[in-house]
Chains A and B, each alone.
Chain A
Amino acid sequence: MLWVDKHRPKTLATLDYHDDLTKRLVTMSSAKSLPHLLVYGPSGAGKKTRIHALLRGLYGNTVDKLRLESKTFTTPTNRKVEINMISSNSHIEMTPSDAGIYDRFVIGTVLKEIASNAPLFQSKTGVPFKTVVLNEVDTLTKQAQAGLRRTMEKYTGVCRLVLVARNSSKVIGPLKSRCLGIRLSSPTHDEITSILISTASRENLTLSPALALSISQLSSRNLRRALLMLESAHTMDPDLNPSMQVPRCDWEEYIVRLASEITAEQSPQKLLQAREMMYELLTNCIPAGVIMRTLVKELMKNTDDSLKHEIVKHAAYYEARLNGGSKEIFHLEAFVAKFMACYKEYLTNLFG
């Protein structure tokens, strides 16, 4: 088992940071009532961990008996859609956006099913409703989100929804106004450092604060990534030598190389080479958005302030188009070409 999962806090009492929020969650779980929730925040901030702790507080041990179901839905147009969901007797967790454009139908069916199987008598847990956790609601279609509006109100009595989103800008206003929003900010470097050290000590290792801090900085305040990095550092060097180089993912190294290649030379040949590198990344299932963000971060590290804004401006432009378009490589390539042009112009202005 990975350390991330092994040392994940199981109950509300053992949650590490955001104490104010934890207090509120405790109030909710002890009152055995839950409004619809919208939990949002950057990845690796602990959204899922908190939701599971909350569910455990609400329903007790029943949430631990999980089963993985693969359900097939037949849409009105006779298409078959298969969705995997994890469920226990008191909750269901699913990612409806897996169903693509049929997400609205899947959500509706699941909620109606729960409503029609509502218990006549109070269950042993003393909670009169089931909870449905919907992951990645920001990737739901607008139709599915609009469909949730009335559905949410109608079935309030028998089930509560917990919506999880990374980017809540994409959740429509009517849904937000029906939910209690819970914002989770990323843990600070101090918090990550102390968690890393305590995790290491639970594994009977000693981690120096300096190394913990450098891992934390590399993780860009993403706790999950920090823990994964700690574990991979441990496999490289079982003693966790304070002076060791923290290993980065190889795709990150690859993007760093790409960045240095295109800053070294700006020419059509180089662009062709860059395209090959980007194809390599894409075929290895690195999302285009991640490539763009990492590349921009690398490019900005060694450039002058005046050029930085140019880079960000074009990156923002091409990243936005990347989301609207269908072929990712075009936009990535366009950005690299644009960067080369800007950089070349900057160099010519500088040296004449």
Chain B
Amino acid sequence: MPNTEMMDLEDPPPTTLDMDSDDDFVAPTEGPKRSLPWVEKYRPKSLTDVAHQTETVATLTNAVATGNLPHLLFYGPPGTGKTTMALALARTLWGPRVYKDRVLEMNASDERGISIVRNKVKNFANLTVSKPTPEDLKDHPCPPFKLIILDESDTMTVDAQSALRRVIESHSRITRFCLICNYVTRIIAPITSRCAKFRFQPLPGESMKGRLLEICSGENVTVTPEVLAKVISLSNGDMRSAVTTLQSCYNLTSGGNVQVSDVEEMSGRCPSKAVEPMWEACKSKSFSNMQTAVEDLVCSGYPGVEILKALSDLVVTSPLLNDEDKARVCVKIGRADKTLVEGADETLQIMDVGGNIVKAFEGKRI
């Protein structure tokens, strides 16, 4: 039996085009058994399978039917199906045999400086497309162009993006581009104006629930409705994180009963219970109490940003603070969050926020 695993992973020689994206075609059920994560195993294979993004699906299905595809720009928060949609589109357009020659997928792990755009992308865009055999045409429309998928394109440098401008235009006869990013603001305007933009929304609870139940029945896993609800509410519309959380819970309890508390722990969120002592200390209007509470909280190892998130929930819903104080505290939380992501010390930042909350309780102006 040929080892597909080895073939997928072979590093292509630098002169040829990077085609290793074809490992997406290895069906998880056949070939050497490999322990694929559920996220990969249940990645939707066709356009209509993609959950929730109905408008995009409708537009793209229409485009596939007419063979008239614009350049695409997918943007939206993580885990909403952008990459999945792009791969599914490519799969619908071309069958597995033609796919190899027609699709170039690049992401942040590949070198994507200006030189790569000049050489690799341009060369691929230049290639003429081969005529599909009648066999290929049977199931797939096989339109006469190629697709270049640039995943995580908001990490491309501005120079590389500018180099792309003319490439997109001059090769549009035989090449379509599909750019995928989280933040559309990081893509330069000349590029966005050349593409049809599709916004991917966070998934609502119901469509996630349906999907998760499908996965559960596929894996022969039983979960209680409470656990499912918790997974969905913690994921904030991020399908990938929901599926990963579910799988980690299942794996770690070795197939036993998954508890709601497990879900909370696995998701890496800071439960409001953990912030409670600090909140109480703030209420007592004593800075020293708050100080010890914060030191304990940081020792508990929760990520600083998650602590701030839990804290902001408490602040916003608290009946004891007036609206102006809440707003002022939230400004401080926002500022602390920014500095934390930039790498500031957690204890000091959280203590600063705590100090402001103490002040708010004391009725002093922050």
Contacts and interface: CB of A to CB of B under 8 A. Distances in A.
A293 interface: yes
Interface centre among A42, A155, A157, A308 (most CB of B within 10 A): A157
B252 A28 contact: yes
Contact of A33 (B251, B266, B291, B344): B251
Interface in B124-145: none
A151 B21 CA distance: 11
Interface in A185-235: 185-186, 220-221
B258 to A, nearest CB: 13
B301 A143 contact: no
B320 interface: no
A338 interface: no
A120 B346 CA distance: 46
Nearest to A318: B348
Contact of B20 (A108, A154, A183): A154
Interface in A294-328: 296, 300, 305-306, 308-309, 312-313, 315-316, 319-320, 323-324
Nearest 7 A/B pairs, CB to CB: A309-B355, A41-B301, A181-B268, A320-B339, A320-B344, A146-B108, A186-B299
Interface in A276-301: 289, 292-293, 296, 300
B78 A320 contact: no
A149 B107 contact: yes
User: How would you classify the secondary structure of chain B's contact residues: helix, strand, loop or mixed?
Assistant: helix
Given A27-B254, A45-B301, 15 more contacts: A27-B253, A40-B301, A146-B108, A150-B108, A150-B152, A177-B79, A181-B268, A185-B300, A186-B299, A186-B300, A186-B301, A312-B352, A313-B352, A315-B352, A323-B342
B347 A35 contact: no
A53 B340 CA distance: 31
24 contacts: A27-B251, A33-B251, A40-B303, A108-B109, A115-B11, A118-B9, A143-B108, A148-B109, A150-B109, A157-B35, A174-B78, A177-B79, A181-B267, A181-B268, A183-B302, A184-B301, A185-B301, A305-B286, A305-B288, A309-B358, A316-B345, A316-B351, A320-B342, A323-B344
B117 to A, nearest CB: 14
Contact of B291 (A45, A118, A143, A300): A300
A319 B344 contact: yes
A15 interface: no
A145 to B, nearest CB: 9
Interface of A: 24, 27-28, 31, 33, 35, 38, 40-42, 45, 76, 104, 108, 112, 115-116, 118, 120, 128, 138, 142-143, 146-151, 153-158, 167-170, 173-174, 176-178, 180-181, 183-186, 220-221, 289, 292-293, 296, 300, 305-306, 308-309, 312-313, 315-316, 319-320, 323-324
A349 to B, nearest CB: 15
B355 A308 contact: yes
Contact of B301 (A33, A42, A146, A306): A42
Contacts of B348: 292-293, 296, 312, 315-316, 319
Interface in B278-331: 286-288, 291, 295, 298-305
B6 A118 contact: yes
Interface stretch (B171-179, B196-204, B238-246): B238-246
